[in-house]
Chain A
Amino acid sequence: MRCRKCKDRAVLEIPRHHTAFCKPCLSDFICAQAERAVTEEKMFTKTDRVLVAVSGGKDSLSLLDILRRLGYQADAFYVDLGIGAYSRQSKTRVEQFTSARGIPLHVHELKEDEGAGINELADLVHRPTCSVCGTLKRYHFNRTAVELGYQVLATGHNLDDEASRLLGNVLHWQTEYLDKQGPTLPASMDGFAKKVKPLFRLAEREIAAYAIVNKIDYIVEECPNSKGAKMLLYKDILNRLESESPGTKQAFYWGFLAKQEAEAKTRPSMAENDRAVLHPCITCGQPTTAETCSYCKLMARAKKDGPSPVAS
C-alpha cells in the first residue's frame, strides 16, 4: 500500500477518510487534526498555559507530544494511584518521556496525600474502584490546574472514548450527562479550569500508530481494574460497525456534537447553568453543587471508616 500524499510505503490505512499514509504524512495528518480541534473548538491559544493529564498510555503521551510539536505551552500532570506494578511502570514511562524532552511534570501521590492507594480507598468507602478513581482524578486535575495557574486542563480522550461513552449514555438514556460530553467545557466560574479534549477527531488506532512511528514508549498494559469494563464492550461493538461501514464512529459522535451546537442557541448555556448551582465547597473551596464537594465527602468517609490514619 502506498501513501496517498507522497506515494512512499504506507504504514497506516484510514478507511474512514479513504486514505493511507507513510510515517511523516501520518504525523502531519495527526497534528493537523489536533490543531483543527484546538482552533475550531476554541480550546486554547499559543499564549495559554495548558496542563495535560498524563497516564503513561498512548493517548495522553501522544497528546503532550503533539501539542509541544504544534508549539503550545503544554506541561504534564500525573496522578499516582498507587496500584502496584502498573502504577510504578506507568509513572516510569511518564518520567522518562517528560525528562527526555525537558517538559515540566507535576505529580500527585495518592499514597502520600490521601494516605492510601486507590484500591484501599475504594474498599474503605465501599464504592466501586473506578468511580472513586474518577472522583479523585477529576478533583486533582482541576485543583492542580487552578492552583498552578494553568488556564486549561487537557485530557487524551479520543474519538473511540467519546463515541463509546455516548453510546453508553444513550443506551441508558442518561441524558443529564450529554451536556458535558463536548470536547470543550468552559471554565464557567472561578475555581474551575477549562477542560478540553484535543484528540476527539482521532481514532484510538490512529493515535496508537502515531505513538509507534514516533517511538513514544507508552505503557501497553491496562490498569488491572479496567478488566471487563463496559466501555471496552461498547468500543468493540462500535469497531464492528466501523469495519463494516467506515465512518460510523465519527458520524455518531460528531453528529451528536452538531445537533447539540444547534440546540445550544435556544437554551441557557452550560456556564449559566453552572453558575446558578455551583458554589465553593465549605471544606476545600473547590466548586460544588452540594455544601461539601464529592471529594471531601469521600475523604471524610474514608477517615471515619478507616482503620489507619488517612489524611484529608
Chain B
Amino acid sequence: MKVLLNHPVREVDVKGPRRVKDLLKELNLLSETVLVVRGDELVTEDDMLRDDDRIEIRPVMSGG
C-alpha cells in the first residue's frame, strides 16, 4: 500500500494486509502523535489496512 507521510511530505510503500497498530510500529510512530487516514476516512488502531489502500499519516503535533 502507498503511505503518504508529512513533515516532510514523502511516500513509502508498505506490504499489506496490516493492522494500523502494526503499520505505526513499523514506521516507528507513536499513535498519540498521528492520525491515520484511509482515503478520506479516519481509522483506528485495530483496523486492517489492505494492499490496495491509500493511506495518509497525518501528524497532529504543531510547534507554535
Chain A interface residues (CB < 8 Å from chain B)? 1, 10-13, 20, 55, 57-59, 160-161, 204-205, 207-209, 212-213, 215, 220-223, 226-227, 229, 231-232, 235-236, 239-240, 242-243
Contact = CB atoms under 8 A, between A and B. Distances in A.
Interface string B27-50: 000111111010011111111000
B12 interface: no
Given A209-B35, A212-B37, A243-B31, A222 B42 contact: no
B44 A160 contact: no
Label chain A's interface by main secondary structure: helix
Contact of A220 (B6, B30, B45, B63): B6
Given A13-B44, A13-B45, 16 more contacts: A11-B42, A20-B44, A55-B64, A207-B60, A208-B58, A209-B42, A212-B35, A212-B58, A221-B6, A226-B62, A227-B63, A235-B61, A236-B61, A239-B33, A240-B30, A243-B30
A57 B58 CA distance: 13
Given A11-B41, A243-B31, A232 B61 contact: yes
A226 B44 contact: no
Given A204-B62, A208-B58, A232-B63, A1 B6 contact: no
Contacts of A227: 63
Interface in B1-53: 6-7, 30-35, 37, 40-47
A223 B31 contact: no
A226 B47 contact: no
Interface of B: 6-7, 30-35, 37, 40-47, 58-64
Contacts of A220: 6, 58-59
Contact of A226 (B34, B35, B63): B63
Contact of A11 (B33, B43, B60): B43
25 contacts: A1-B44, A1-B45, A1-B46, A1-B47, A12-B35, A13-B45, A20-B44, A55-B64, A59-B62, A160-B61, A204-B60, A205-B32, A207-B60, A212-B35, A212-B40, A212-B42, A212-B58, A221-B6, A226-B64, A232-B63, A236-B61, A239-B30, A239-B32, A243-B30, A243-B32
Contacts of A10: 44
The 7 closest A-B pairs by CB, nearest first: A226-B63, A11-B42, A239-B32, A229-B63, A208-B60, A1-B44, A205-B60
Contacts of B46: 1
A144 B33 CA distance: 34
B30 A208 contact: no
Nearest to B59: A220
Nearest to B34: A205
Nearest to B41: A11
Contacts of A13: 44-45
B7 A208 contact: no
